[in-house]
């Protein structure tokens, strides 16, 4: 009897969910992945992606020299779980709030099923990638030589999607997720008594004006047919009711899809900071970091994924015109190196949102995800 069934998938997923680990610290998770692969007799390599990444592979029984890659992210988030069910996080302050426990489970299920019945021609690589959340584990794996060490012609990814019904999927021809930059701005003036603001240089006033001015770069300088979001998410200043602080710190993100627009927004952002600081007589320091590029599917590979999904009994609808998400995904680094596609699978209309402390991956999705991976492999690596 096959070990890949709904009960086993649920058991694996709940175990991963109870033991969440964040970026580059996924040692328990990595070890459990290896244990399942070894029990199934699947070849694998460890110590990748900063130490916790795993790549496994299965060869088809029909020979062939083609190869494709399937990727799952394995890390969790620094979120305190609000759920009280039996498989809730046992690690305070950490939680699988994005469904990577489910993504890992689906890829493990597909690897085991394909190892049991390798009815395809060529090789499949199963990429278990650490540190997707903010730290760029996908970039690290690429820089370490992922595609040189494990040659593959194309690479594919999946993300569960709350709000989309179970049994539905979405495939984009190009843009799926936005590029992701972060910034920290520090303004320094001179503090003074709050009753005598004329004796100081007011960093709070300048920072408040700056928050508003930055929004104008998006609303008035970004072409209407392009999309961008600039969000100030942190504002740190002051310690007392009656003291004008000497420094203020602003942090946030900038997101868009177009590379030229991304460069323009960064340049204008820095100009706005410098101009505001100069007007108020302040000093400014800027730490602006480009994190993830936009996640861009290649049309031919996206079309093949859509065709596979439409032919699956468990899929009732495949959305082809949904707008891309302004969230970001480091699978983008892999798609910069190889053709491929990143799709969404519905997690249910009553699911809590991603990164929400009440979120949970829908166990009913795991068998659908496994079936998708198997169907994709047998379609792309057909022995005909």
Catalytic residues: 75, 132
Q: Which two tokens stand for residue 130?
A: 């650490």
Q: Where are the alpha helices (DSSP H) in the chain?
A: 6-18, 27-39, 100-116, 137-143, 146-149, 203-221, 259-280, 299-310, 332-335, 365-380
Name the residue among 55, 77, 112, 128 with its Cα closest to residue 331.
128
In angstroms, the CA 167 to CA 241 distance is 55
Give the relative orientation of helices 365-380 and 100-116 as an angle to the nearest 10 degrees.
Answer: 50
**Three-state SS for 239?**
coil
In angstroms, the CA 103 to CA 87 distance is 16
Name the residue among 225, 61, 55 with its Cα closest to residue 141.
55
The residue whose two tokens read 């992701």 is: 180
**Three-state SS for 88?**
coil
Q: Which two tokens stand for residue 192?
A: 């003074």
**Three-state SS for 178?**
coil
């Amino acid at each position: 009897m096959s070990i890949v069934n709904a009960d086993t998938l649920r058991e694996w997923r709940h175990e991963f969910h109870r033991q969440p680990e964040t970026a580059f610290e996924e040692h328990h998770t990595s070890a459990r992945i290896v244990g399942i692969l070894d029990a199934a007799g699947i070849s694998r390599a460890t110590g990748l992606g900063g130490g916790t990444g795993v790549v496994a592979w299965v060869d088809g029984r029909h020979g062939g020299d083609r190869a494709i890659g399937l990727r799952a992210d394995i890390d969790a988030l620094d979120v305190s779980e609000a759920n009280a069910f039996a498989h809730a996080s046992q690690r305070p302050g950490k939680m699988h709030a994005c469904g990577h426990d489910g993504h890992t489970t689906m890829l493990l299920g597909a690897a085991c099923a394909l190892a049991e019945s390798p009815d395809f021609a060529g090789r499949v690589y199963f990429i278990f990638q650490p540190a997707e959340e903010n730290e760029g584990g996908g970039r690290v794996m690429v820089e370490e030589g992922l595609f040189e060490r494990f040659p593959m012609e194309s690479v594919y990814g999946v993300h569960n999607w709350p709000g989309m019904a179970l049994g539905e999927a979405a495939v984009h021809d190009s843009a799926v997720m936005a590029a992701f930059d972060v910034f920290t701005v520090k303004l320094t003036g001179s503090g003074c008594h709050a009753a005598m603001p004329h004796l100081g240089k007011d960093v709070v006033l300048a920072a408040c004006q700056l928050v508003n001015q930055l929004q104008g770069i998006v609303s008035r300088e970004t072409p209407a047919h392009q999309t961008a979001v600039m969000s100030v998410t942190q504002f740190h200043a002051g310690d007392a009711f009656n003291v004008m602080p000497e420094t203020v710190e602003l942090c946030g993100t900038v997101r868009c899809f177009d590379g030229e627009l991304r460069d323009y927004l960064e340049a204008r952002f820095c100009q706005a900071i410098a101009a505001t600081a100069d007007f108020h007589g302040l000093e400014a320091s800027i730490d602006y970091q480009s994190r993830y590029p936009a996640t861009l599917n290649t049309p031919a590979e996206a079309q093949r994924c859509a065709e596979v999904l439409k032919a699956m009994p468990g899929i009732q609808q495949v959305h082809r015109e949904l707008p891309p998400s302004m969230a970001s995904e480091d699978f983008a680094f892999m798609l910069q190196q190889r053709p491929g596609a990143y799709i969404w699978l519905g997690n249910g209309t009553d699911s809590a949102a991603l990164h929400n402390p009440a979120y949970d991956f829908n166990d009913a999705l795991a068998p659908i995800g496994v079936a998708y991976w198997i169907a994709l492999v047998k379609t792309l690596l057909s022995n005909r």
